[in-house]
Structure 1
Amino acid sequence: MTRPGPPPREWGNTPQLWRGVAWNWPALQRWTFAHLGALDPQRPVQVVQGNRETNAAHLVSTTWGEHLARLDQDPRATDEPVGHLKEFDLLKHFPALRDDLDPNALFPPGSVISHQAWIGPAHARTGLHYDLLDNVALTLRGRKRFYLLPPGSVEAAQQVSRKFDRWARLSVLGVDALAQRFEAQGLAAPQVVDLGPGDALYVPHGWWHEVVNLEASVLLSGFFGSRQRTWGCWLQTGALQLAHNAGLWRRGHCTCHCKAG
């Protein structure tokens, strides 16, 4: 699974870990929470509190600067939970940050790529799910842990959630509860992969994964595919999103309309 150095030109259908693939990128030295927060401190953002994939969750309004500042604080200094900024289009909001990266090195030529960032505190969690597109997850600050289950495993356990998410499919249970079931049935345990700064993990579409922050961290994901596959997914999921927004599909049972606070 582990491939030191640069990624190959053929990605395959199983996860691959690329240790240190971005060690020489300027982002690893420059992207402190203080540096990022100073880019536009008053920019409004909404952070997620709770695990919206498997449980009820809600959105909290804050500012970019305040969120980044809280990630630099000792978590024991306050009882107020620090939210998780998810699916944030970091490079769209701050295009100058592209100069600190070399993302094209991580993707097949001709891919359609959507970059999104996850920026949150230690212990923040993204619940068990699989994505409809392939994904390269790159840790630029802090450490993260991925739990991986192969396609079909959650389906076989009959634990696929009906909760709507445009670009993913969700599990009813988290990875800990599923692992206990698998152990009782003599099935394989989830794979565990830890990422540090500069490490990247390729997760093919259909592979179930749950992600936990071991430290406050910045992760940049690149969801990608061929033009045909990406535009096909965009059209299909867009139709469902329109129906959902109109209240005709999974109304009130989704990750996109969390309770705001």
Structure 2
Amino acid sequence: MKPVEIWSAADEPQLKERLARRAEPVLLAGLVADWPAVQAGRQAPLAICDYLGRFDRGAEVMATKTRAAARGVMGYNDALTDFAFVKARMTLPEFMGHLAAYLPASHAPAIAAQCAKVGDVIPGFLDDNRLQALPGVVPNFWLGNALTVPVHHDHPHNLACVAAGRRRFTLFAPDQVGNLYIGPLEHTPSGAPISVVHPDAPDFERYPRYRDALAAALVADLGPGDALYIPPLWFHQVQALEKVNLLINYWWPVAVEKDLPAPAHALLQAIQVLNALPATQREAWAAMFGHYVVQREQDPAAHIPEAWHGVLARRQD
């Protein structure tokens, strides 16, 4: 695996545009190092919980707890018949109480309050910890101990900021999708399809192409104050490495013209329609999609007068 490129970028409005032009992930060293949350997280493992408690408003979070056989991974069981974790709603102080109780244990269950809305649960956090690069984007927070989220991808742009603890991201380009053994598109842990390969002990006999994915992967190790930009559709595995970790992440959408469906909806509809066709027809349509949609080799409208381009008219290059 190769390390992700590192920038020493400043938190400024121009950063959003620079990131949106990126085709690959980039690690932004120390981007949010001056946040009070980061300073609190450096003091002691549970200091970040004391800090977050200042902003608690009694809202509930969704807490995840992995089963013993999951080995700290929020994924499927080995037989692919069920999830290897359970979920429950509780208040933030209740969850932080579990986190504190597990702190001395050497083999504690992996737990996390995942994708909790900062604006709903700890709204005052935003006043203390601002990000000029993404004004108006309300982030999510991910608080927990040493837990691994298997390979998955997001549709929006993603800026992940480590406020406490350490995280390791393993990243795969979208063209590695066939090597990642992505699970069902509907029966998912939290909406995003995930790889069925166990990240800590891959079964290469069962999933041989995963070796090729790892050979092409990028890796980024983040400490307190660091941030990672992940472009849309880049697959990533996230490992929280300490007994207390806090991640703040910002998602902002890919620009899509008004009244057009989201690309993900178009993909799902294409899957449903084309899977009903015989293999020879799927191959034929693959050629059509490659020519008209992907347009990797040529512009399908280059020989047509511009006034007649219709749906082939280029919106963006």
TM-score interval, normalised by the smaller of the two chains: 0.7 to 0.9
Aligned length in residues: 233
Residues 137 and 200 of structure 1 are in contact (CA less than 8 Å); yes or no, is this contact kept in structure 2? yes
RMSD value, Cα: 3.4
Aligned equivalent of 1:151: 174
Deviation at 1:176, TM superposition (A): 4.5
Deviation per residue, 1:170-215 (Å, 9 max, x gap): 2222444569545855972532211111100000111111111111
Aligned equivalent of 2:221: 194
Taking a change above 3 Å as real, the CA distance of residues 176 and 3 of structure 1, as seen in their structure-2 partners, is same
Aligned equivalent of 2:162: 139
- Which segments of 5 or more consecutive residues in structure 2 lack a partner in the other structure? 42-47, 67-72, 78-82, 270-317
Residues 71 and 120 of structure 1 are in contact (CA less than 8 Å); yes or no, is this contact kept in structure 2? yes
Q: Percent identity?
A: 25
Taking a change above 3 Å as real, the CA distance of residues 93 and 62 of structure 1, as seen in their structure-2 partners, is closer
- Secondary structure of the 2:158 match is strand
Aligned equivalent of 1:130: 153
State the structure with bigger RCO (CA 8 A, min sep 6), 1 or 2.
Answer: 1
- Secondary structure of the 1:201 match is strand
> Counting strand residues as a fraction of each chain, which structure ranks higher?
1
Aligned equivalent of 1:37: 53
Alignment partners' CA distance in 1, 2:184 and 2:232: 19
- Secondary structure of the 2:7 match is coil
From 58, 82, 87, the counterpart of 2:86: 58
Alignment partners' CA distance in 2, 1:179 and 1:20: 36
* 1:96 counterpart = 2:124: yes
TM-score between the two structures when normalised by the length of structure 2: 0.62
* 1:162 counterpart = 2:184: yes
Residues 156 and 254 of structure 2 are in contact (CA less than 8 Å); yes or no, is this contact kept in structure 1? no
Taking a change above 3 Å as real, the CA distance of residues 148 and 200 of structure 1, as seen in their structure-2 partners, is same
Residues 182 and 188 of structure 1 are in contact (CA less than 8 Å); yes or no, is this contact kept in structure 2? no
Deviation per residue, 1:90-136 (Å, 9 max, x gap): 2332221111122232x4x8xx8452111111x21111101111100
TM-score between the two structures when normalised by the length of structure 1: 0.74
Residues 33 and 71 of structure 1 are in contact (CA less than 8 Å); yes or no, is this contact kept in structure 2? no
* 1:3 counterpart = 2:7: yes
Determine which structure has more spread, i.e. the larger CA radius of gyration.
2
Residues 62 and 88 of structure 2 are in contact (CA less than 8 Å); yes or no, is this contact kept in structure 1? yes
Alignment partners' CA distance in 2, 1:186 and 1:20: 29
Aligned equivalent of 1:212: 239
Aligned equivalent of 1:84: 112
Deviation at 1:76, TM superposition (A): 3.5
